[in-house]
Amino acid sequence: MPAHAATAVSCANIAFIKYWGNTDEALRLPANASLSMNLAGVETETTVTFVDNLAADEVFIGGAAQSGTPYDRVVGNLDLIRERAGLRAFARVESKNNFPAGAGIASSASAFAALSVAGAAAAGLKLTEAELSALARRGSGSAARSVPGGFVEWGPGQPGQPDSSFGVSIAPPGYWDLVDVIAVISQKHKIVGSTGGHALAGTSPLQAARVGSVPDRLERCRAALLARDFDHFAEVVEADSNIMHAVMMTSAPPLFYWEPITLAIIKAVRRWRAEGLPVCYSIDAGPNVHCLCPGEHAAEVERRLRENLDANRLLVARPGGPARLLG
Amino acid sequence: MPAHAATAVSCANIAFIKYWGNTDEALRLPANASLSMNLAGVETETTVTFVDNLAADEVFIGGAAQSGTPYDRVVGNLDLIRERAGLRAFARVESKNNFPAGAGIASSASAFAALSVAGAAAAGLKLTEAELSALARRGSGSAARSVPGGFVEWGPGQPGQPDSSFGVSIAPPGYWDLVDVIAVISQKHKIVGSTGGHALAGTSPLQAARVGSVPDRLERCRAALLARDFDHFAEVVEADSNIMHAVMMTSAPPLFYWEPITLAIIKAVRRWRAEGLPVCYSIDAGPNVHCLCPGEHAAEVERRLRENLDANRLLVARPGGPARLLG
């Protein structure tokens, strides 16, 4: 077999309604449905090359050869691709992010979306978007949401059915000019990454109540998004972020992803909105604060954040497209 | 009727297992049982004088005449005392705290404990400790725990039965030399005081799960306290504080009592304990951090907090006695 190669690019995403905890850890079937926006320009680019004479898979991220858990997770997805394609060859995987990894921007989401799209193409598979999304999910849950474009809803699927849980675009990137001004607080790697964190979700006495309250918030969030109603959107997005962190802080052991500056920005954003600036926050499994606002207010949000951030920095992203093959 | 006067002193208290939310707002019957320690030297002193010729009750706190809600809450307790004693005279109430009010140290707890003990004595009532505790509860729920001495458990009582919910001492002050080193973060009055906050508890989708999980924590906390087992005590006290703040942050509107420095101290305390210093935190409806430790480690905890606190200040309290009449 000759070498077969493909390259794909995928955006990170920010969840408005969060994913936290699985009903099936092995299949990564999520405890609840979630809703997100892809982040244009916050990207992973991945090339997968199946090569006849390799002795094992090789994985490079930002040029560095990987081993241990990061390597094993990539091999896990390659195995799923090989199984589906009837392939035996090992692969070389070369991946690079244009944003800092491990600080709460979902690098694993864009990484596994790009890996799945590139890997499937390199293996000669013709998969639907839903199949690619479900494949990406096996590597990192939220990667399911980085495969389709724009605003994406990801359902929990059916027990024991790995292909039943995938992301679906509910609106294209141009539907609403929503901007995510990301206050990047720290580029240190997290003490507990989100895979480890998801496994702790069930230890919180609050997780079941959170999961039970998601459908109501999801419905209100979808409605506010489709109506471009920022006020209602802001309220439900912040409530969902708060409730995920409430579960994190009450798991055993408790997970405090916020830093003091995270809380300072939460309070500042709430004060700015009370004073009339349409902006709200959402925080993933890390200290960064995603400050969401209509496009016409992004410059003012950026200006105010810069005044409060000292040495930290900002990333600005508009709604992004689907994972795509290059060339 | 001649003037009848009495003066009482009562300690504030810190709850290890927290009270948040009522099943009966009017009677202040709490949603769950709680467990606390009185704070020696963190006190309110209150004199109640029933006077024949007053046209209305007069209430002075720290020398300042009160009106509005603070006045009405005091009059509410005086009315309960008058009703029970068959009295018609109005009263002059003079109260002073030796610690800052409204910043999360339970000033209303010590205030209503002292008011109830002084008021009942001034009215010539002979009440049991349980009756005095239930009376104090009517003014401020956690005041029920400031009437008995030392370590105090307060049960939820029975629906519609105002005297069924009161504090009981489970160990005297000398039972365990536990010290509360309080990092006083702010002396500003709270935007939402705890009476308003309790009324919001039911708006959190997490409150029912919190209430359901209290009995397990209460039992573990009581056992650790009675065994003077600091490691288990620390774990359950922090978990209970976290879960109360999880409910607060997810109420509608959300209540963020923490300040950035609060979170910085939370993280520092957890790090210090992981490194071997026996200390844990507990946070009430305010930004202050109560750092609890065995007495022999209090000086070291104080030293480390001072390094981290900048302009803020410390209060240090050992287990305190019951509310008591003076003279």
Q: What is the mean pLDDT of each run of 10 residues along chain B (327 residues)?
A: 82 97 96 98 97 96 94 98 97 92 72 98 97 98 98 97 97 98 76 80 97 98 98 98 98 95 95 98 94 98 87 88 95
Is residue B136 one of the residues assigned to a domain?
Answer: yes
Same domain for A157 and A11: yes
Same domain for B206 and B263: yes
A65-92 core/surface letters (b: 16 or more CB in 10 A; e: else): ebeeebbebbbebbebbbeebebebbbb
Same domain for A106 and A137: yes
CB contact under 8 A, B256 and A250: no
CB contact under 8 A, B247 and A252: no
Q: What is the pLDDT of residue B107?
A: 82
> Rounded CA gap, A218 and A232, in Å?
12
Chosen for mutation from A263, A266, A309, A310 (greatest number of chain B CBs closer than 10 Å) is: A263
The minimal CB distance from B260 to the residues A208, A209, A260 is found for: A260
Is residue B138 one of the residues assigned to a domain?
Answer: yes
Is residue B322 one of the residues assigned to a domain?
Answer: no
Tens digits of per-residue pLDDT, A105-141? Answer: 768 999 999 999 999 999 999 999 999 999 999 999 9
- CA proximity to B114, closest of B202, B204, B184, B12: B12
Burial class (CB within 10 angstroms; exposed 0-12, middle 13-18, buried 19+) of A327: exposed
- B246: nearest CA in chain A? A246
The minimal CB distance from B264 to the residues A212, A242, A260 is found for: A260
Same domain for A216 and A139: no
Number of independent structural domains in chain A: 2
Chain A residues close to B243, C-beta within 8 Å: 205-206, 250
> Rounded CA gap, B325 and B127, in Å?
13
Dihedral sign (CA B39, B193, B209, B264):
negative
CB contact under 8 A, B210 and A210: no
Tens digits of per-residue pLDDT, A57-82? Answer: 999 999 999 999 999 999 999 999 99
Q: Number of Cβ pairs closer than 8 Å across A and B?
A: 69
- CA proximity to B171, closest of B224, B109, B237: B224
Chain A residues close to B213, C-beta within 8 Å: 205
Q: What is the pLDDT of residue A2?
A: 46
Same domain for A151 and A31: yes
- CA proximity to B195, closest of B96, B111, B97, B318: B111
Tell whether ipTM is more than 0.90: yes
Q: What is the pLDDT of residue A194?
A: 76
> Rounded CA gap, A41 and A26, in Å?
31
Which two three-digit tokens encode residue B76? 């509410």
Residue A205's φ and ψ, nearest 5 degrees, are -65, -5
Same domain for A168 and A184: no
Same domain for B205 and B137: no
**A86 Cβ neighbours under 8 A, 6+ residues apart:** none
Is residue A327 one of the residues assigned to a domain?
Answer: no
Is residue A162 one of the residues assigned to a domain?
Answer: yes
Same domain for B123 and B189: no
Residue B58's φ and ψ, nearest 5 degrees, are -125, 130
Residue ending a domain, choose from A172, A198, A225: A172
Residue ending a domain, choose from B127, B156, B172: B172
Domain span including residue B100: 4-172
CB contact under 8 A, A249 and B246: yes
Instruction: List the CATH number of the domain containing A142.
Output: 3.30.230.10
Beta-bridge partner residues of A317:
A180
- Cis amide prior to B260 (ω within 30 degrees): no
Is residue A281 one of the residues assigned to a domain?
Answer: yes
Same domain for B68 and B48: yes
Is residue A323 one of the residues assigned to a domain?
Answer: no
Instruction: List the CATH number of the domain containing B303.
Output: 3.30.70.890
Same domain for B188 and B163: no
Q: Give me the residues of chain A with pLDDT under 70, please.
A: 1-3, 100-104, 106, 187-192, 310-312
- Cis amide prior to B253 (ω within 30 degrees): yes
Is residue B141 one of the residues assigned to a domain?
Answer: yes
Same domain for B231 and B87: no
The minimal CB distance from A206 to the residues B206, B252, B259 is found for: B206
Q: By a Cβ cutoff of 8 Å, what residues of chain B touch chain A?
A: 205-206, 208-210, 212-213, 238-239, 242-243, 245-247, 249-250, 252, 254, 256, 258-264, 266-267, 270
Residue ending a domain, choose from B122, B139, B172: B172
Chosen for mutation from A206, A236, A261, A265 (greatest number of chain B CBs closer than 10 Å) is: A206
Same domain for A214 and A152: no
Neighbour count for residue B158 (Cβ, 10 Å): 11
